[in-house]
Structure 1
Amino acid sequence: MSDNKFPKYEAFADTLKSVSLSVTPAELHGFLTGMLAGGLSPEDGRWQPLLFDYTNDGMGWPMAALGLASELMAHTAAELTQNHFQLWLLLPPDDGEHSLFELADGVSEWVNHFISGLGLAYQNVNKLSNDAKEALKDLEEIARLGIDEDDDLKEQALLLEQVIEHVKACALALHAECGIQTKTENKRPTIH
């Protein structure tokens, strides 16, 4: 697993709520990851106005929340470019009484906002390869999934784990095609 360097989900959610932002940590992380997967560079600063427009009617964010979002953006960008083929998703914890339902809702929120972030950053969705189109279609289907209270919850929990891993694979596949890749120098021997 990747190294989680962020506050617990609840603390992150409390910070967002305390400054009257109606976005969950899962939605925020999905949105930022989608923009990165779509090729938006975290260094150029364009992500902040897009975030403000999408989440707060164009109004800026208070510094406490913006600082957390900036850290989340930097960490996620590093994860996507280090070629570890791992991605950490900021989702509600899976402990507690209603946690499976909250986790499933968090996955849906993450995926919906990932798709939105990708769409804002990558304007050529029609030109995606067949593999990337399939990954995007899978994400669109996953965004509509839910947990049925009448089904075996242990089985549903195992299936949700598999879905989360597939979400990560789809996000990484889309980033591989649309995202900004780290440049590797073409080192050829110098001929004298």
Structure 2
Amino acid sequence: MHGLISGMICGGNDDSSWLPLLHDLTNEGMAFGHELAQALRKMHSATSDALQDDGFLFQLYLPDGDDVSVFDRADALAGWVNHFLLGLGVTQPKLDKVTGETGEAIDDLRNIAQLGYDEDEDQEELEMSL
């Protein structure tokens, strides 16, 4: 959800329409329960504040710790970026027409979103390449 909410905010959706849009994208248009909706409002507010902070306090919500493999981290990053691009795309429908440095950055994000690996490949070799 963090990637999706971040993408919506970066796409310019800063009014209260973000939550119904989130319902449409993730829950077949049905409203979330009170506790989940409240947690998402807090996440939206904290994410918005972090993105607007001059010290750039924004951080991706990704798994961390010694028990998380590099593959799980890469998979989580690809998922976060996919959701970010979805959120950005629903708020900026002409995203594929963006050119220049911004267009290049979006292309880079699309490449990251396609990150994957073949489970049959040598795991140690893959870890070194990531």
- Please classify the TM superposition score into its range, dividing by the shorter chain length: 0.7 to 0.9
Which amino acid in the other structure matches residue 63 of structure 2? P
Partner residue in 2 for 1:142: 112
Partner residue in 2 for 1:69: 40
TM-score (norm 1): 0.60
TM-score (norm 2): 0.86
Partner residue in 2 for 1:52: 23
Higher relative contact order, structure no. (Cα contacts within 8 Å, ≥ 6 residues apart)? 2
When Rg is computed on C-alpha atoms for both structures, the one with the higher figure is: 1
Q: CA deviation at 1:82?
A: 1.4
Q: CA deviation at 1:145?
A: 1.2
Query: What percentage of residue pairs aligned between the two structures are identical?
Result: 36
- The answer to whether 1:119 aligns with 2:93 is no
Q: Secondary structure at the match of 1:151?
A: helix
Which amino acid in the other structure matches residue 128 of structure 1? V
Which amino acid in the other structure matches residue 109 of structure 2? L
Q: CA deviation at 1:105?
A: 1.1
- The answer to whether 1:40 aligns with 2:13 is yes
Give runs of aligned pairs for residues 1-192 of structure 1, distance below 5 A: 28-41=1-14, 44-96=15-67, 99-147=69-117, 149-151=123-125, 153=127, 155-156=128-129, 159=130
Please tell me the root mean square deviation across aligned C-alpha atoms, in Å.
1.9
Matched residue count: 126
Structure 2 unaligned runs (5+)? none
Q: CA deviation at 1:48?
A: 0.4
Structure 1 unaligned runs (5+)? 1-27, 160-192
* 141 and 126 in structure 1: CA distance in 2 versus 1, 3 angstrom threshold: closer
